[in-house]
Homo-oligomer: A and B are copies of this chain.
Amino acid sequence: MASTRVKTTKTGGATQAERLQASSLQRREQQRENLRGAILAAAGELFLEQGYEAFSMRQVAERIGYSATTIYRYYEDKDDLLFAIVHEGFTEFQRELVAAAESAADPIERMVALGAAYVRFGMQNPVHYRLMFMQRLDFVFDQRKDEQQPMVGSFDVLQRAVASAMDAGAIERGDVERHSQVIWALVHGITSLALANGGRFGPDDVDRTMEIAMKMMVRGLRP
């Protein structure tokens, strides 16, 4: 019935019909984004609780109280939904890396800050990290998806830091991409081992390990 429509607006301007249509469209868009978001959120939760293997479309559907079919209106298939989670994760990841990069003016300090931010993200979002960097690393390198590519963007942040450190003479000159890979490998290694080690590898352990690692990195790359 029209009752719901009346609620939304009532003031002058355009034709009533036009206003109705416009707001109706907007509402639909809103609803669509809402549900899309709700699915994503539910998927994230489920994934967090049950892990990669147990994650299933049906359970996501049940969690939001919609039929399983409905999900397919919003996400093409399971991979598409998982990809969305990964995408979300990388967006946040990139944000944190950028913030870290901006937090330090000194090239060396910036690199260290980036390393710390990387590991911190992993420790604070273990489920996402696992999905992003361990279970579905294929998404990261899969160019076909995602034009904005926060995956690549994240790596770029690191690469730029390395490049400017080289420019500043803070570290020895060399292949920027490859040096970045080495640093990435180092922090990724620490993070994934820490995550796997679960209980026995507390925040303190990570900090102390990182201290050694960063020191090694800085001294090892010095000109």
A interface vs B, CB < 8 Å? 2-3, 5-6, 9-17, 25-26, 29-30, 32-33, 36, 72-77, 80, 83-84, 134-135, 137-138, 140-141, 144-148, 174-175, 178-179, 181-182, 184-190, 192-193, 195-198, 200, 208-209, 212-213, 215-222
Contacts and interface: CB of A to CB of B under 8 A. Distances in A.
Overall SS of chain A's interface: helix
A72 B17 CA distance: 9
Contact of A6 (B16, B32, B187, B197): B32
Taken together, the copies of this chain in the complex come to 4
B145 A12 contact: yes
B181 A188 contact: no
A176 to B, nearest CB: 11
Contacts of A141: 196-198, 200
A182 B196 contact: no
A73 B17 contact: yes
A178 to B, nearest CB: 6
A167 B106 CA distance: 35
A185 B209 contact: yes
A139 to B, nearest CB: 9
Contact of A193 (B181, B198, B221): B181
B14 A76 contact: yes
Nearest to A149: B11
B175 A212 contact: yes
A219 B218 CA distance: 10
Given A25-B2, A73-B17, A219-B219, A147 B190 contact: no
